[in-house]
Chains A and B, each alone.
Chain A
Amino acid sequence: MGPFDRFADARTIETGTTIDADVCIIGTGAAGITIARALANGPQKVVMLETGGLNYDAAVAALGDIDVIGRPYPGGASRLRYLGGSTNHWGGQCAPLDPIVFGPRPWMGDAEWPVDYADLEPYYRAAHKVIGLGEYEYEPAEVLKNTPFAVMDFTDGGPVRTSISRYHRQRFGLAYAADLNAAPNVFVYLYATVTSFYRGDTGDAATHVTVATLAGNSFTVRATRFVLATGGIENARLLLDSNGQQAAGFGNGSGLVGRYFMEHVAYANGVVVPKNFKPGFDVYFDEQRLDDPTGDDVRIRAHLTLSPEATRALEVPRFRAELRRYSELRLALKHVRDFNFGFGDVWDVMQEPGAIWDALVNGEPPPDVGAFILANYVEQIPNPASRITLSSTRNALGQHIAAMDWRLTRADEDGIKLAHRVIAHEIGRSDFGRFRYDMLEDEDAILDGAYGGFHHMGTTRMGTDPKASVVDTDCRMHEAPNVYIAGSSLYPSAGWPNPTLTLVALAARLADHLKEEVARDG
């Protein structure tokens, strides 16, 4: 295992072996590593089971194939199965969920969280350090002060706001393998694929998991507590496939494991021509390096979002509008090819009468005619019919692979359309600029143009009611008191940010809970 001499290769473990642990963490992605690091150098023996090795392995990756039976989806390509999990290719985008997301939103259906922003806030700060995101600061005025970047002025106090994302592509495996290797109480097993959860003869608690490798050997891990942290698809698939003792799947008496599969629904359709284009708007188009006081290598990007007040008034899902600079060449080609008039004409009629001549007479260059494309990322409305189930196809270890039935509804389409319309009208009302869109009225055409962001959420949702959720507020399975789940599969709703910061915060919170529980109960 190279420099990580304490990591074990599970392919060399004799079949029939039983390994004992206090805590067994299944998965070494952002959530699993966050919890393992929190427990490192403590009194509990922690066993981590990773299905892959230290690098990409095509045969291991194929274990995660997905049978897409609903909307088209890239499937297995979106997840990585080796140390660090999908953080090995993530984009690093982070922002906390808005407080409004945690509360009741009747227009969003079953979207309410059983925790609120105040519960998570200290863990968001902890997650910031784990990911290397610099200061926990998201107020645009604070983040952008002393930078050359400009806030689009129509977002200052109106229904449309500027929101900030921070970026740091923390590769959890590369960053933290040495920590795991150095911790005397942490034992990492590579190429170890969990095949099933099992209970004992009495009680609901899990007693052990079975593990197999592509080398053909298999063994057992017994533990006092288990943490399932394998991603929004695999968490559900493994529980469903653990059906030797419970036909519906392990801990799935509610029938909800795998349901409510959600994505961020991306839909690019719209061009904005601002009246006064400023170079400082570049912070909306690309990630920009931030001179962060913590010294972390942080980048930022601005988006358009809707104020909480406007969100409630319009009853719209949370969304972020991501903007991309329209190239001059594309702008010119578009002008020639499609239309009787172009971006420059629209810009022209917005100007104050005589403003261009005025600028020339006064020796000032005329303002830049710029344009940008608008793509909205809209949270999907929780939908139990959108789900992960088991395919009849099996992988090389004999496991049923996941079947993905991702579904969008008319309500999702309405959210997409409303998100564009709100921005179009607000841009015009504020005289910031003008908006062009070709929104189609045909539902299928709109939904066909929508795609996901590889954000797999909702399949083991968190809640207080065992009939309406899979885990409780401590991330503990309602039906298995020693099995905890970590990751974006916990989310009852998605908000506009990408999911990683929140899942790391929830993992840090779960680690605190595990430490308290062990201190109390042993």
Chain B
Amino acid sequence: MTAKRKGPTRRAALGWLAAGASLLTGRVAAAPASPERRLARLAGSRRAAGRIGRAYLADRGGADLSALMAEIEARTALSSDAVMRLSPDALAARLAVAKREDFERRDTVAVEGWVLSGTEARLCALATLV
């Protein structure tokens, strides 16, 4: 987004929206933060990422959370500690670089014909599992 920002940042907006939704539904965020959850939140909307992730896992033939995390960490050069420590913006920037590098070295996967970066497909898979 290159447009000049006139209002609150998107992170703040998301926070307000989440808080508002929690108040309306009477629920509170129950799940504690984890590296898997922090990464999964950056995969896109839960619904879209979940659909793609399920298709990827079906092709892959299994859903091993720790293996997925190890593969993502290898591609992003991020440890679990770093995932927890980095800000969401910094984490998103690292993921964007990893996706570009996947394409550069042809580390891609075909999911129902879509050519996705290896990191991207695994992030979607995470979103279905956490």
User: Of B13, B42, B103, which is within 8 A of A357 by CB?
Assistant: B13
In chain B, what residue has the closest Cβ to A269? B113
Q: Do residues A361 and B114 form an inter-chain contact, with CB atoms below 8 A?
A: no
B5 → chain A closest CB, angstroms: 7
Q: Do residues A341 and B48 form an inter-chain contact, with CB atoms below 8 A?
A: yes
Find the residue from B5, B42, B51 having the highest chain A CB count within 10 A. B51
A280 → chain B closest CB, angstroms: 15
Q: Do residues A349 and B41 form an inter-chain contact, with CB atoms below 8 A?
A: no
List of B residues within 8 angstroms of A353 by Cβ: 10, 41-42, 44, 88, 92
A363 in the interface (beta carbon within 8 A):
yes
Q: Do residues A346 and B114 form an inter-chain contact, with CB atoms below 8 A?
A: yes
Q: Do residues A354 and B52 form an inter-chain contact, with CB atoms below 8 A?
A: no
B120 in the interface (beta carbon within 8 A):
yes
Q: Do residues B115 and A428 form an inter-chain contact, with CB atoms below 8 A?
A: yes
A residues 344-362 near B (Cβ < 8 Å) are: 344-346, 348-355, 357-359, 361-362
A513 in the interface (beta carbon within 8 A):
no
A65 → chain B closest CB, angstroms: 41
B residues 23-55 near A (Cβ < 8 Å) are: 41-45, 47-49, 51-52, 54-55
A289 in the interface (beta carbon within 8 A):
no
Q: Do residues A425 and B108 form an inter-chain contact, with CB atoms below 8 A?
A: yes
List of B residues within 8 angstroms of A429 by Cβ: 100, 103-104
In the bound complex, what is the Cα–Cα distance between A353 and B96 (angstroms)? 11
User: Of B6, B44, B92, B100, which is within 8 A of A362 by CB?
Assistant: B6
B14 in the interface (beta carbon within 8 A):
yes
Q: Do residues B115 and A348 form an inter-chain contact, with CB atoms below 8 A?
A: no
Q: A349-B124, A358-B10, A363-B6 are in contact. Are A435 and B114 (CB under 8 A)?
A: yes
Find the residue from A345, A348, A351, A352 having the highest chain B CB count within 10 A. A345
In the bound complex, what is the Cα–Cα distance between A345 and B115 (angstroms)? 14
List of B residues within 8 angstroms of A437 by Cβ: 113, 115
Find the residue from A352, A361, A435 having the highest chain B CB count within 10 A. A361
B70 → chain A closest CB, angstroms: 21
Q: A363-B6, A428-B117 are in contact. Are A357 and B17 (CB under 8 A)?
A: yes
User: Of B13, B43, B99, which is within 8 A of A361 by CB?
Assistant: B13
A67 → chain B closest CB, angstroms: 39
B84 → chain A closest CB, angstroms: 17
Q: Do residues A354 and B114 form an inter-chain contact, with CB atoms below 8 A?
A: no
Q: Mark B47-75, 1 if CB is under 8 A from A, else 0.
A: 11101101100000000000000000000
In the bound complex, what is the Cα–Cα distance between A426 and B13 (angstroms)? 33
In the bound complex, what is the Cα–Cα distance between A344 and B48 (angstroms)? 8
Q: Do residues B114 and A436 form an inter-chain contact, with CB atoms below 8 A?
A: yes
A144 in the interface (beta carbon within 8 A):
no
Find the residue from B43, B104, B106, B112 having the highest chain A CB count within 10 A. B112
List of A residues within 8 angstroms of B41 by Cβ: 353
In chain A, what residue has the closest Cβ to B106? A425
Q: Do residues A364 and B3 form an inter-chain contact, with CB atoms below 8 A?
A: yes
User: Of B7, B92, B117, which is within 8 A of A352 by CB?
Assistant: B92
Q: Mark A315-355, 1 if CB is under 8 A from B, else 0.
A: 00000000000000000000000011100111011111111
A100 in the interface (beta carbon within 8 A):
no
**A side interface size, CB within 8 A:** 33
In the bound complex, what is the Cα–Cα distance between A350 and B114 (angstroms)? 13
In the bound complex, what is the Cα–Cα distance between A219 and B13 (angstroms)? 87
Q: A357-B10, A361-B13 are in contact. Are A348 and B54 (CB under 8 A)?
A: no
Q: A352-B1, A353-B41, A428-B115 are in contact. Are A346 and B13 (CB under 8 A)?
A: no
Q: Do residues B10 and A341 form an inter-chain contact, with CB atoms below 8 A?
A: no
A81 in the interface (beta carbon within 8 A):
no
Q: Do residues A349 and B48 form an inter-chain contact, with CB atoms below 8 A?
A: yes
Q: Do residues B51 and A340 form an inter-chain contact, with CB atoms below 8 A?
A: yes
B78 in the interface (beta carbon within 8 A):
no
A442 → chain B closest CB, angstroms: 16
Q: A353-B41, A355-B10, A429-B104 are in contact. Are A340 and B54 (CB under 8 A)?
A: yes
Q: A362-B7, A438-B113 are in contact. Are A354 and B120 (CB under 8 A)?
A: no
List of A residues within 8 angstroms of B117 by Cβ: 428
In the bound complex, what is the Cα–Cα distance between A354 and B44 (angstroms)? 8
Q: Do residues B10 and A361 form an inter-chain contact, with CB atoms below 8 A?
A: yes
List of B residues within 8 angstroms of A438 by Cβ: 113
Q: Do residues B11 and A348 form an inter-chain contact, with CB atoms below 8 A?
A: no
A136 → chain B closest CB, angstroms: 35
List of B residues within 8 angstroms of A516 by Cβ: none
List of B residues within 8 angstroms of A363 by Cβ: 6-7
User: Of A354, A364, A430, which is within 8 A of B11 by CB?
Assistant: A354
A26 → chain B closest CB, angstroms: 50
In the bound complex, what is the Cα–Cα distance between A431 and B88 (angstroms)? 19
A13 in the interface (beta carbon within 8 A):
no
Extra pairs beyond A348-B48, A355-B10 (8, CB < 8 Å): A340-B51, A341-B112, A345-B48, A345-B51, A349-B43, A354-B14, A429-B104, A431-B96
Name B residues whose Cβ lies closer than 8 Å to a Cβ of A.
Answer: 1, 3, 5-11, 13-14, 17, 41-45, 47-49, 51-52, 54-55, 88, 92, 96, 99-100, 102-104, 106, 108, 112-117, 120, 123-124
In the assembled complex, 16 residue pairs joining A and B whose CB atoms fall closer than 8 Å, in A order, are A340-B54, A340-B55, A345-B51, A348-B44, A348-B45, A349-B49, A349-B123, A350-B44, A352-B1, A354-B11, A357-B10, A361-B13, A426-B103, A428-B117, A429-B100, A434-B115
Closest 3 CB pairs of A and B: A349-B44, A358-B10, A429-B103
